[in-house]
Amino acid sequence: MTTLTPSKPLRPNLSALIFNRPQKAYVHPYLGGFLLGLVLFSAFFLTGNGLGASGGLNRLVVFVEDLIAPAHVDRVSYLLKLAGGDKNPLDDWIVPLVAGTLVGGFASGWLNGRLQVKTNKGPHISTRQRWLWAFVGGSIMGYGARMARGCTSGQALSGGAVLSVGSWAFMFAVFGGAYALAYFVRKLWN
């Protein structure tokens, strides 16, 4: 004899829709690289620009700064170039690109069952430690990216594809810096 289960409340179904989708495997790196190469090519082909990320974040920071302290923005030459006077720092191609990147990342995570509130970390550090180091690493990365006028997306991928010497030098420096320090921070990841 079968018994009818009581009707479930709405929330678990929603949770299943968002968080508990079947998790798919990552695509093979060469395939991912090939697809990324097509995206990169399409960007250059259609628009003349490559990809980017740190520039969009930069403009967001300057936008907020301009809201809070516009006089300061007008006095610092680096900020002035982006938001001096009534220039809108968000009025730039890279801002919709970054917005699209967030949405695309979310969409892929959702469709492939990888939307999860979790912290990825090495086995020998705590979650809190990971958060701290993520913030510290992010700060260092953010600083370096603006110094280099771009990050792995804007300089390495984009500049690399069009064979800019500075971009290739940058790319080797990034890998060099990371490999050089890897041994000393191995506890974070291993």
Partner 1 sequence: MPAFPLPLETLVGKPLMYLIFAIIGFAFGYVLEISGFGDSTKLAAQFYFKDLTVLKVMFTSIVVAMVLIFAMVGLGVLDFNQVWVNPTYLWSGILGGLIMGVGFIVGGFCPGTSLVSAATFKIDGIFFVLGGLFGIFLFGETEQFYDYWWNTAGYLGRFTVMDWLHLPTGVVVLLVVLMALFMFWGGEQLERIFGKRDLKREPLMRYAGAGALTLGALAVIFIGQPTVTQKWTRLEPAKAPLLAERQVQIHPGELLASMGNDRLNLILLDVRSETDYNLFHIHGAQHVPVSDLPALVPKLLVEPPKNSVYVVMSNDEAAATEAWKVLVANSVPNVYILEGGVNQWLGIFGAEETASVPTPAPPGDDSLRYTFSAALGDHYPAAQPVPHEWQLEYTPKIKLQLQRDKSGGGCG
**Shortest Å, Cβ 85 to partner 1:** 15
Q: With respect to partner 1, which residue has the nearer C-beta, 2 or 79?
A: 79
Site string for partner 1, 34-53 (x = CB under 8 A): xxxxxxxxxxxxxxxxxxxx
- Would you give the DSSP letter of residue 8? P
Residues 109-138 that bind partner 1 (CB under 8 A): 109, 112, 114-122, 127, 130-138
Cβ pair 159, 150 in contact under 8 A: yes
Tell me if 21 contacts partner 1 by CB under 8 A.
no
Q: End-to-end distance of the chain based on CA atoms, in angstroms?
A: 53
H or E element: which one contains 29?
helix 29-47
**Shortest Å, Cβ 9 to partner 1:** 23
- Would you give the DSSP letter of residue 84? S
Tell me if 17 contacts partner 1 by CB under 8 A.
no
Residues 144-163 that bind partner 1 (CB under 8 A): 144-163
Figure out which of the listed residues 17, 20, 33, 187 binds partner 1, where binding follows CB under 8 A: 33
User: Which two three-digit tokens encode residue 136?
Assistant: 């510290």
Tell me if 66 contacts partner 1 by CB under 8 A.
no
**Shortest Å, Cβ 157 to partner 1:** 6
How far apart CA 27 and CA 101 sit, in angstroms, is 18
Tell me if 174 contacts partner 1 by CB under 8 A.
yes
Alpha-carbon distance values, 5 to 8, 14, 135 (Å): 8, 19, 47
User: Which two three-digit tokens encode residue 188?
Assistant: 């974070």
Q: With respect to partner 1, which residue has the nearer C-beta, 1 or 179?
A: 179
